Structure 1
Amino acid sequence: MADYGLSHIIYLWNPSIRMLDLLLATPSTDEDTRSVIGLAYNSQNNDFKILRLLSFFWGQEAEAEAEIYSLSTDSWRNVVITMESLRGYEPNFGTIGQFDPPCIIFNGALHSVAITNRHRFILSFNVNDESFHEIMLPPNDLDGVHVCCTELAVFKGSLAVFIYTDDHWGVLCHIWVMEEYGVAESWIRKYMVPTILNSHFYGCTDNGELLIKTATGLVSIDPESRNQSILAIEDADWVGCTANSMESLILLDGGK
């Protein structure tokens, strides 16, 4: 758990054993610093890791860094992420200037949308070997349509991208699914779902329903039938994100 304004203050919480641990990452002195945080399990080493993606803005220049925390060693280390390290020297793609939340776990890797001054792609972080990779986003067939935002999700067991557009037809959610993980040619647009302006997407249920916060509260939407159900949560203003929960007896002290 972390606050966007104080993202260097992170709490690890295991609700199964009611244990809470405070972690302190590197604080930033730049008010324009942005961060995205993800948590994952390293199955090879029986370890939990936190990935903290940082963007630093100085005028027109930007550089991206990552901080990686290991629970087993109770330590952080820094990595600089460049386009050259991902794909070799290609000056037309610029430098990474921004990461968009959320940072989701899928197929043993954490994923976040990365943005350069000329390019948008999915940055994946393999938890086991701590390597970064580039995954191309779906082809841009929305030229001339205003894109409100792009969000990653796990949709029915596959990596998915939710692209929200706003035009004279209203706000549409385009759901793209990657049928073969890591293969950009396998992106397929499954659904286009009408939604509400200023609504906020939080994630998917296991059966593929969309969890969206509207002015009246949290609702679930079936993208196939487009049926909506109001969830029995009176006040959803506290919601920051959603994730699957699995009980664990893991201690938060690195085994000490």
Structure 2
Amino acid sequence: MADYGLSHIIYLWNPSIRMFKKLLATPFTDKGATSVIGLAYNSQNNDFKILRLVSFLWGREAEAEIYSLSTDSWRKVVISMESLRGYEPNFGRIVKIDPPCIFLNGALQTVAITSRHRFILSFNVNDESFREIMLSPNQLDLDGVPVCWTELAVFKGSLAVFIYTDDHWGVFCHIWVMEEYGVAESWIKKYMVPMILNSHFYGNGCTDNGELLIKTAIGLVSIDPESRSQNILAIEDADWVGYAANSMESLILLDGGKKMME
């Protein structure tokens, strides 16, 4: 648990046993800096890891901090574009990293943006290496339609990108799915779903069966991309919804956490 700002205070929380652990990452005060945080399970070492990515608008390369629960320690890595794809002139450096940071196929991934390029930054949890996953050129050029924002998601077990557009026809969510993980040529556009109009909304991922979860002024709404039917979910305090992810019960933190107050 952490905010989307630059707070260096992170809580690792196990709701199954009501235990938590407070972690302290590196504090930053740079103006224009933002951070994104992801949680992953390392199956090879039976360990949990936290990846904290910090991007800077001016002058500095993006940085990564990696926390390992087994060692209860952090280490820092600088992410340079040269390390991702070799030296390429006029490529630029990472100036922005967009949440969420999702876990799939043993890797954490998030959308990274340079001054000239947008791509998926992938972090392999087992060997702690970074790689670039290319987006489709068709995702970046939607016939001149203004793109509001892009959002990564796991759509029916596959890596997906939700692209939200807004023009005189309305607001739409374009769902692109990577049918073969890591292969840029396998991107395919599955759906174009009209969004709820006349209200502010935020994407919050999707369910296992592929329904979009959208937070609106009337609450949390699920949208079936095939039938386009909408269902208002009876969830209290939906304003606090962040991002949907699968939950699996565990005894982690039982021997190294603090008990929550009743």
Structure 2: give runs of 5+ residues left out of the alignment. Answer: 258-262
Q: Secondary structure at the match of 2:225?
A: coil
Q: Deviations over 1:49-80 (max 9, x none)?
A: 0000001233xx34200000000000000000
Q: Does 1:230 align with 2:232?
A: yes
**What is the aligned partner in structure 2 of residue 50 from structure 1?**
50
Assess, with a 3 A threshold, how the Cα gap between structure 1 residues 123 and 5 changes in structure 2: closer, same or farther: closer
Q: Secondary structure at the match of 1:7?
A: coil
Counterpart contact for 2:21–2:256, Cα < 8 Å: no
Segments of 4+ moved more than 3 angstroms = 252-255
Q: Deviations over 1:223-253 (max 9, x none)?
A: 0000000101243111122211000011266
Distance 1:254 1:190 in 2: 44
CA RMSD of superposed structures (Å): 1.4
| Residue identity matched to 1:130 | E
Distance 2:214 2:2 in 1: 21
Distance 1:90 1:253 in 2: 48
User: Which range moved further: 83-92 or 196-205?
Assistant: 196-205
Match of 1:204 among 206, 227, 232: 206
| Residue identity matched to 2:145 | V
Assess, with a 3 A threshold, how the Cα gap between structure 1 residues 252 and 126 changes in structure 2: closer, same or farther: farther
TM-score (ref. length: structure 2): 0.93
Counterpart contact for 2:6–2:33, Cα < 8 Å: no
Counterpart contact for 2:179–2:187, Cα < 8 Å: yes
Match of 2:91 among 87, 90, 93: 93
Task: Give the drift of 1:5.
Answer: 3.4
Structure 1: give runs of 5+ residues left out of the alignment. Answer: none
Assess, with a 3 A threshold, how the Cα gap between structure 1 residues 215 and 49 changes in structure 2: closer, same or farther: same
Give the % identical residues.
Answer: 84
**What is the aligned partner in structure 1 of residue 252 from structure 2?**
250
Q: Greater strand share, 1 or 2?
A: 1
Distance 1:39 1:254 in 2: 18
Distance 1:136 1:31 in 2: 29
Distance 1:203 1:146 in 2: 21
TM-score (ref. length: structure 1): 0.95
Q: Deviations over 1:190-241 (max 9, x none)?
A: 0000003531110111100001011111110000000000101243111122
Q: Secondary structure at the match of 2:53?
A: strand
